[in-house]
Structure formats: structure tokens, C-alpha cells
Amino acid sequence: MKFWLAPLEGVSDCAFRTLCYQYGADLTFTEMIRVDSLVRKNKSTLALLDLKNDTPTGIQLLAVKPEMLKQFVKKFPFYGIDPVCFNLNLGCPSPDVIIQGGGAALVKRTKRVAELVTILKKLGYPVSLKIRLGLNVQEKEHKVYLNLIRDVDADAFIIHARHARQKSSEGADWTIFPECLDTGKHIVANGDITERKDIEYFKKIGIKEVMIGRAAIRNPSVFQYLKSKEKVSLEVLKKEYNLLANKYPSSAKYKKNVLSYMGKDMHSQKWLM
């Protein structure tokens, strides 16, 4: 089993990704980066492309308009960074993103997504999609996510097993995974994975990679725990994180967020209502 650190807005900067990598994450992701803002050269957005060391990192992009993504593809070689892969966000539940047809609203827009994947693949990196089960319960029941998985030629499908209207208290619906695996596509499981028994379950049904979000915020050594070692104390983790945050500085909010969220159960208003 391989373990991926989830894209985490306000949390997964270079220092946090590096800490998780040191504690067993096999692959990490930047937080969602808006392609429109990159193309407009927004300074704080460009700063999110913080691949400052050899931590294996994928770049998560929020893209809706093919034209914008084409412009990004042209500019990318000038950024001087070399990610492991790209990921497109098809899960953001924010109304300002949904209203433009982006984030979780893209799950049913198979043709548009296929077009975006084709454009991004021109850079020569693997391209995965991080999806929800649709915008709402109706879309989930119509299994819009299955059409997308079948029809789009992406290198992996990371499935956060909730629709975009679900609260974290409702629990992710892992029963959808066997049917997703039946498509023969590369499926990565996400949502509420915290324990070794969860990993045993996913191994049993044929999942080879899982993505971990809030459990890593609570304790970044969760990756080595899930790989059968013990977790490390918060005191040690905070010390190590501080050193990394000084070595790979980013906006002050990351340090504040990471240090205050560690050890706690986190419920993000935006990402998990």
C-alpha cells in the first residue's frame, strides 16, 4: 500500500509536506492552486508553487476554462520546478467555484474534463483527478462519477467518497469503491482513513494507494503508523515542523494553522461543512 498526503489548503506547504514525507508519506500534494490566478501572475498564488526540495510532490490545480489551462501549460516551463505529477481538483465545494462550473461541478462535465486532461498532459507529467461523488445526493445516485472514471483518460482517480453537500459528520461512503475498481482504472481511496484496520480493508478490496488528509493534520507521523511503526509525540513533531518552516518559509498563516490544528480533530468550514 502507498500513502499519499492530501492537498490541504492553508496547511500543505513545503514544510508540512516535507514533515509528512519524512514520516512515511510516499507522495504529497500542494494545496489547490487556481490556474486563472497563476496566469494573471498573482504573487501569493505563484508562491504556492513551493517545490523547494526533493519531497515527492504533485501540483493540484483548479482549472475550468481550457484557454486558461493552455496559457498555464505555455508558462509552466519557465517556473523552473519539476513535480512528480499534476492533479486536477474536481472536489472543491465552494459556491464561488461551483457557480463557474468548477470543482465538484466538473464531475458530471466529462467532455470538459477530458479536454482539460488532454491539455495538461502536453507537459508530459502524469495527470490525476481528485473527485467527489458529484455535487449532491442526486448526482451521486446517478453515479456521475462512474461515467467520468470510465470516459476520461486520466492516470489516476482519487476519490473522496462524499458528494459536495455532505458534512464530515456523515462519513465517507466506502461502498462505492468496488464498482469504481471494476472500471479497471487506477483508483485511489480518500475520506476518513485513519486506522490500520482501514488499510487492511482497502488492501482486501484491491486498492493500492490511499490519500490521507485530516489524520495527517492531527499527527503527521500517521503515515508511519499506518505502515506499522508507532506515532511520534506532538511535542517532537511541532519542534521538527518549526525547523522545517524556518528552512522553507511560506506565508505566516501556514505555521499558525499547522501548530494550532496538530493534535485536534479538524473540521474545515469550506472543505468539509
Ligand X SMILES: Cc1cc2nc3c(=O)[nH]c(=O)nc-3n(C[C@H](O)[C@H](O)[C@H](O)COP(=O)(O)O)c2cc1C
- Beta carbon nearer to ligand X, 78 or 107: 107
Give the residue closest to ligand X by C-beta.
213
Q: What DSSP letter does each residue of 119-176 carry, written as one string?
A: HHHTTSS-EEEEE-S-SSHHHHHTTHHHHHHHH---SEEEEESS-TT--GGG---GGG
Candidates 8-16, 78-86, 107-115, 142-150; binding stretch for ligand X (CB under 6 A):
8-16
Please report whether residue 272 would count as binding ligand X according to CB under 6 A.
yes
Considering only residues 106, 215, 244, 245, which one is a binding residue for ligand X as defined by CB under 6 A? 215
Please report whether residue 60 would count as binding ligand X according to CB under 6 A.
yes
Q: Which of residues 30-49 bind ligand X (CB under 6 A)?
A: 31-32
Please report whether residue 91 would count as binding ligand X according to CB under 6 A.
yes
- Beta carbon nearer to ligand X, 78 or 207: 207
Please report whether residue 220 would count as binding ligand X according to CB under 6 A.
no
d(CA 69, CA 51): 20
| Mask for 235-254, x = binds ligand X (CB under 6 A) | --------------------
Smallest separation, CB 89 to ligand X (Å): 5
Is 242 strand, coil or helix?
Answer: helix
Is 42 strand, coil or helix?
Answer: coil
Residues pairing with 61 in the sheet: 33, 88
Is 2 strand, coil or helix?
Answer: strand
| Mask for 111-150, x = binds ligand X (CB under 6 A) | -------------------x--------------------
d(CA 43, CA 38): 8
Amino acid type, 157: F
Please report whether residue 24 would count as binding ligand X according to CB under 6 A.
no
Smallest separation, CB 189 to ligand X (Å): 10
Considering only residues 28, 55, 166, 190, which one is a binding residue for ligand X as defined by CB under 6 A? 190
Q: What DSSP letter does each residue of 34-85 carry, written as one string?
A: EHHHHHTT-HHHHTT----SSS-EEEEEE---HHHHHHHHHHGGGG----SE
Considering only residues 192, 223, 254, 255, which one is a binding residue for ligand X as defined by CB under 6 A? 192
Q: How many CA atoms lie within 13 A of 134 on its CB side?
A: 15
Candidates 4-12, 14-22, 66-74, 114-122; binding stretch for ligand X (CB under 6 A):
4-12
Cβ contact 136:164 at 8 Å: yes
d(CA 131, CA 143): 12
Amino acid type, 139: E
The residues binding ligand X (CB under 6 A) are 6-11, 31-32, 60, 89, 91, 130, 160, 190-193, 212-215, 266, 268, 271-272
